[in-house]
Amino acid sequence: MSAVLVTVQGREHVVEVENGRCILQGNPDASAVEIAPGVFSVIINGISVRVLASRQGESFTAHCEGVVGEVLVETERTRLLKRYAGVGDVVARKTEIYAPMPALIVKVEVKAGDSVEKGQGLVILEAMKMENELKATHAGVVKKVLVEKGMKVEKGELLLLLE
């Protein structure tokens, strides 16, 4: 069994990994299992949610029920190396928003230069006759919008940059 430190929305969690199953340390009712490449079934207190994750450099972008967030996964070794290199306390607040599935862009709610608040809607996608709103994971400024209403996008396609 190995352990990793997972940071989600600024909160750190120790996760134990054994045989492909992840268990949140201190909470036996919280676990996750990868059911397909990049697709996880996360169970917390008996409630299951599906999380789509794609790697973006050293972190992951996770999509869950219309919310997009950055997830940083570090081993103890990586964390110590960053601390001794002097970069452990500096967190870049740059987010790349990707399409979680093939979809049609229904509405782009922001433009480059707009200030946004955490939880504010950014883009509305339609897939399988359902609309999904992608929201900001933190307050910031929209740096670049790469899509417009009516465009078709593929899973994993970059939609916009937020800093």
Per residue in 107-163, pLDDT (tens digit) is 999 999 999 998 899 999 998 888 888 888 788 899 999 999 999 998 888 888 888
CB 34 within 8 A of CB 40: yes
Q: Model-level pTM? A: 0.47
Which residues, in sequence order, are bridge partners of residue 142? 162
Sheet strands (E) in the chain? 2-8, 11-18, 21-24, 30-36, 39-44, 47-56, 59-64, 67-74, 95-98, 103-108, 115-116, 121-127, 130-135, 140-145, 152-153, 158-162
Eight-state DSSP code of residue 161: E
Q: Thinking of the domain 95-162, which architecture would CATH place it in?
A: Beta Barrel (2.40)
CATH number 3.30.700.30 given to 2-85: yes
Per residue in 6-47, pLDDT (tens digit) is 666 666 767 777 776 676 766 767 777 778 887 878 777 778
Domain segments of the chain: what residues?
A: 2-85, 95-162
Give φ, ψ of 18 to 5 degrees.
-145, 125
